[in-house]
Amino acid sequence: MFFRFSESNSGGSWWLSGDVYLALLQTGDWGLEASNVAGSDVLRREMQDLKHYLRHELVGQFDSIHAARASFESIANVNLDEPGCECCGRPFRITETYMDSAFVNDAALRAACEAITSW
Ligand SMILES: [Zn+2]
């Protein structure tokens, strides 16, 4: 089963830093869909695109939603049920998803993420 994670900027700023996304990629359990990184060298992509995909299209393969949540929470050190601010709502969302293309977590993707960890 695949699961898709997304964060919002509830309260006016992003909740997770690039270091967190790099840590998620480094486990090998989380990555992106090939359709989001294929077609060009991810290292040459606009960095904003990569940030966007990591924040809104991060995917992982697990046996259950429980396993996906446990993985994410232990690596990112966050509570996925964080309520966020009163007007914006919850900052984190993780749901089972269908993937249009293959799961990607390769050295090029991790290197591209590492190159932008100061975000
Ligand atoms: Zn708000």
Q: What are the pLDDT digits (tens) for 62-80?
A: 999 999 999 999 999 999 9
In this predicted structure, the answer to whether residue 60 has a pLDDT above a threshold of 90 is yes
Distance 59 CA to ligand 1 centre (A): 26
Q: Using alpha carbons, select from 24, 107, 114 the residue that is nearest to residue 72.
A: 24
* CB count in 10 Å sphere of residue 22: 18
**Ligand 1 center to residue 56 CA distance, Å?**
18
Distance 55 CA to ligand 1 centre (A): 18
User: How far is ligand 1, taken at its centre, from the CA of residue 117, in Å?
Assistant: 26
Q: What pLDDT does residue 89 have?
A: 96
Confidence band, pLDDT 50/70/90 cuts, at residue 47: low
Provide the whole-model pTM: 0.88
Please report the pLDDT score of residue 45 as a whole number. 55
- Both tokens assigned to 86: 């009163």
CA of 32 to the centre of ligand 1 (A): 28
**At residue 77, what is the residue type?**
N
Residues 62 and 1 sit within 8 Å (Cβ to Cβ): yes
pLDDT in tens, 89-107: 999 999 999 998 899 999 9
Mean pLDDT of the chain: 89
Q: Are 105 and 33 in contact (CB under 8 A)?
A: no
Whether the pLDDT of residue 40 is over 70: the answer is no
Q: Which residue carries 């249009």 as its tokens?
A: 100
Dist. CA 71–CA 77, nearest whole Å? 10
Q: Looking at 44-86, which runs of residues are DSSP E strands?
A: 58-61
pLDDT for res 12? 93
61: which strand partners?
2
